[in-house]
Chain A
Amino acid sequence: EIVLTQSPATLSLSPGERATLSCRASQSISTSLAWYQQKPGQAPRLLIFDASNRATGIPARFSGSGSGTDFTLTISSLEPEDFALYYCQQRSDWPPPMFTFGQGTKLEIK
């Protein structure tokens, strides 16, 4: 089973600053990685798929990079609505196919 480890657990920044969130896989997953944003009481929202492709309607300040085992979600200039929980996720054809999520990074206002 592939394990995803996110860091840091909590990131404290101010609006306008740049945020860098990390996700590390326990073995290579090529670019099969997605990122989600979740706000309290809401469902997750897909931000990035295939490591670097923005989902429909996601602002350009969100970008993803990486391949193999190390991945990064970058928010270039934080807006107030960006403070939330962020999860990475991957799919493996173990078999059987299964999906795993990282434990999350909380992005909070400093």
Chain B
Amino acid sequence: EVQLLESGGGLVQPGGSLRLSCVASGFSFTGYAMSWVRQAPGTGLEWVSGISGSGVSSFYADSVKGRFTISRDNFKDTVYLQMNSLRAEDTAVYFCAKDLGRRDAYSFDDAFDLWGQGTMVTVSS
């Protein structure tokens, strides 16, 4: 079955850290760029970070630059999001998403055709 399964969410104090994981199955993971997208309670979608299929290229939204790090292990079919210096405004459901995969291993496609079920991150004292 083609799917993405996130884990690692939870309750953390402001200034703390968490690492999210997303395990892929049912497709050739190396061929696709992956992203993390978050949704704060009752609000819309915000792209957080993306990494190319090769892992060479990665990019971040300004809101998390310098605090979050995306990485991937193509042997384990897993993408990670290391979140440091967490703030209350980082509270959200975090989804991992697979891109359409029509580009090469260093590029990003225009849309996301597979999403995980999400993992909740709550930053609160």
Contacts and interface: CB of A to CB of B under 8 A. Distances in A.
Interface of A: 32, 34, 36, 38, 42-46, 49-50, 55-56, 87, 89-91, 96-104
6 contacts: A34-B112, A42-B117, A46-B113, A49-B111, A91-B110, A99-B47
B95 A43 contact: yes
Contacts of B109: 91
Is chain A's interface secondary structure helix, strand, loop, or mixed overall? strand
A89 B112 CA distance: 10
B54 to A, nearest CB: 14
Given A98-B61, A99-B35, A99-B50, A49 B110 contact: yes
Contact of A90 (B37, B45, B110): B110
Given A43-B116, A96-B59, A104 B44 contact: yes
Given A49-B100, A96-B59, A101 B110 contact: no
Nearest to B118: A43
A90 B112 CA distance: 10
B115 A45 contact: yes
